[in-house]
Amino acid sequence: MRILLVEDDQALADGLSHSLSEWGFDVTLARTGAFAVGALSTQPFELAILDLGLPDMDGREVLRELRGRRQSPMPVLILTARDGLNDRIGGLQLGADDYMTKPFELLELEARVRALLRRSQGGFDHDIHFGSLVLDTRQQQVKVRGELLPLPPREYGVLEALLLQAGRVVSKDHIAQRLAARSEELADNAIEVYIHRLRKRLEPYAIGIRTLRGLGYLLEQH
């Protein structure tokens, strides 16, 4: 899934690009409206995250170009510091699909991005498949070979983090941040404990979790 991120604030743009990549998306960063319009004319994207306060033009001009002349149905999430009612209504009337104001929580942004993609892609990302394992992100359930595999909430959270990055090494810090954002703080060795428990649960199904010392964890099929 390719996402166009239109944001001129360097620190925020770099942080969002990193987070979106960790969530499994292919990100193109545009720091100006002109670059965004050019990218939209030459590359296919599944979603755009659009700031309104761009240095060369108002972000709404980019939205007008997208919805007007190009008549693109691609979902657009406006992400801006403008929190006035007229700004929100105006952006939605121009064709934005969702509107978030800064500052914001990363977990909420991720949830909204995935919700927009599910709508536009006809069910995208409800289920994540890995070998005989299927994780339903909507119901937060895991099935293996068609049978429900009951997991405590935190073990589910660890497995979800690994599955969303299947094929990549997932750092311990990334897993800890996802879990901590959903509940209270974690003990220092909590991630190792959850990984150990998950290994035992998944071993009968030929699915393993490899530890790469100093880097993180990798989900793999045996």
Q: What pLDDT digit, counting tens, does each position of 5-60 carry?
A: 999 999 999 999 988 888 888 899 999 999 999 888 888 889 999 998 899 998 88
3-state secondary structure of 218: strand
Distance between the two ends of the chain, CA-based, in angstroms? Answer: 27
Indicate if the pLDDT at residue 107 is higher than 60. yes
Which among 128, 122, 98 is positioned nearest to 110, based on CA atoms? 98
Taking alpha carbons only, the member of 43, 53, 60 closest to residue 9 is 53
Non-local CB neighbours of 92 within 8 Å, separated by 6+ positions: 99
The answer to whether 17 touches 28, Cβ cutoff 8 Å, is no
Tell whether the model's pLDDT for residue 123 goes beyond 60. no
Under DSSP, the state recorded for 186 is P
Q: Residue 130 has what pLDDT? A: 87
Give dist(CA 7, CA 32) in Å, integer. 7
Cα 9 to Cα 172: distance, rounded to the nearest angstrom: 28
Which distant-in-sequence residues (6+ apart) come within 8 Å of 14 by Cβ? none
φ/ψ of residue 10, rounded to 5: -60, -45
Tens digit of pLDDT for each residue in 56-83?
998 889 988 888 766 778 899 998 887 7
More confident call, 102 vs 88: 102
The Cα 156–Cα 149 span in angstroms is: 10
Asked whether 135 and 160 are in contact (CB, 8 A), the reply is yes
Instruction: Please give the structure tokens belonging to residue 202.
Output: 């998944």
Element (H, E) at 153: helix 153-164
